[in-house]
Amino acid sequence: MQQAMAADENNDMLYEDDERLYQTGVRHLCEQPIFKVPGRYILPLEERPLRVIDTTKLNAGGAPLISLPAVDFSELTNPSDRPAALRSLAEACENYGLFQLVNHGIPSEVMSAMVDGSTRFFEQPYEERAKYMSSDMTSPVRYGTSFNQSKDRVFCWRDFLKLTCRPMAQVLPHWPSSPADFRVVAAAYAEETNSLFLELVEAVLESMGLGRDGSSIMNQFEEGSQLMVVNCYPPCPEPGLTLGMPPHSDYGFLTLLLQDQVRGLQIQHREDWVTVEPIHGSFIVNVGDHLEIFSNGRYKSVLHRVLVNATKSRMSIATLHSLPHSSTIRPPPELVDEGNPRRYMDTDFASFLRYISSCEPKKKNFLESRKLAT
């Protein structure tokens, strides 16, 4: 008990008065024993998870578990099964904003190598990870902490590594060179997920009635943007006081999320927070803001957040895919008529960067800023 009290006093002296130490990240913070959450990470009462997280229990954060709709990718590639699979895909995008993608065809060894390489990256000394710290949001590689550490009032219990993946030949030399095999395994994973995205987005376009070839739009996606975000959530001594990530939606078209078996991802479904039950070897695919704008509101981007827990570290790898950064996102003419008028202003990546550079991101506020009066 005395040791814990002394450590608490240490925490206060070390962290409460030194803003620079918050910028080093949660992983570095946790490299020495801590017994309470420093004040900068404590959320206002109304924003905290419902109760202390215990991942050994049926529920996490007091929220019920949800089994997401499953889309079988092998059925999407089978001509006789494709019509029914497209209907399942459309229903999931309309009613949930995300789904579990099973039988996707990416080799398990590619996925496990990416998880292993990412784990080893975060296990390196802080000095090695810190080489990639940057506030430049256009940098091909960024290591950082929280959600937006330059704007967040309250920091999140997360460190991240963000890798721009396109064009691969230009960005790869900037990626971390340690661990020694990291570039190789990360590049292989990025290529596999991008190929999967291209086949999946073709199905998404067809599910909206735009035709299987998607005409010129598919050509744009082939030259599109891809951002890989590796998230590390260390164990937290008081998980009921903070979040790994706050409620938000993703800015892109589709996000492919690979998560481990530790529960933590929650989505807002019918106004309630529910905990996603992972399916081993699957991807969670969620609709992003760009797809909601492109579909003129038919497919909804999903509000989600991440819980942390007291005993286990958690890792997730998200790849965010969209059109090229120079492209303008707008609905095609086939999805707009008198009964369904334009719901959003045109947008592009520069608009998104300007928005998040000017304010603290919250919930779906960027998407809300693009809405037109109807």
Which residues does 119 contact at the CB level (< 8 Å), separation at least 6? 315
- Extended strands (E) in 95-250: 98-102, 141-145, 159-164, 225-233, 245-248
* Residue 40 resides in a domain: yes
For the chain, the domain total comes to 1
* Residue 374 resides in a domain: no
Q: Which helix (H) or strand (E) holds 4?
A: helix 2-11
Residue-level pLDDT at 14 = 46
C-alpha 182/C-alpha 346 separation (Å) is: 38
* Residue 302 resides in a domain: yes
Nearest to 289 by CA among 304, 272, 302: 302
The model's pLDDT over 233-292, given as tens digits with 9 standing for 90+, comes to 999 999 999 999 999 999 999 999 999 888 899 999 988 899 998 889 999 999 999 999
**What pairs with residue 226 in β-bridges?**
321
Structural domain harbouring 220: 2-369
C-alpha 178/C-alpha 168 separation (Å) is: 18
Query: Average per-residue pLDDT in the chain?
Result: 88
Q: Is 121 helix (H, G, I), strand (E, B) or coil?
A: helix
Q: Which helix (H) or strand (E) holds 348?
A: none
Nearest to 97 by CA among 304, 340, 342: 304
* Residue 118 resides in a domain: yes
| This prediction's pTM | 0.90
C-alpha 208/C-alpha 88 separation (Å) is: 12
* Residue 357 resides in a domain: yes
**Residue type at position 137:** M
**Angle (nearest 5°) at CA 297 between 80 and 255:** 65
Q: Domain containing 180 — which CATH number? A: 2.60.120.330
Q: With beta carbons less than 8 A apart as the criterion, state whether 331 and 293 touch.
A: yes
Q: Is 226 helix (H, G, I), strand (E, B) or coil?
A: strand
| Tokens representing residue 220 in the block | 């744009």
Residue-level pLDDT at 22 = 67
* Residue 265 resides in a domain: yes
The model's pLDDT over 19-44, given as tens digits with 9 standing for 90+, comes to 666 678 999 999 888 899 999 999 99
The model's pLDDT over 100-135, given as tens digits with 9 standing for 90+, comes to 999 999 999 999 999 999 999 999 999 999 999 988
Residue-level pLDDT at 277 = 87
Strands ordered across the beta sheet of 65-66: 65-66, 272-276, 265-269, 304-306, 245-248
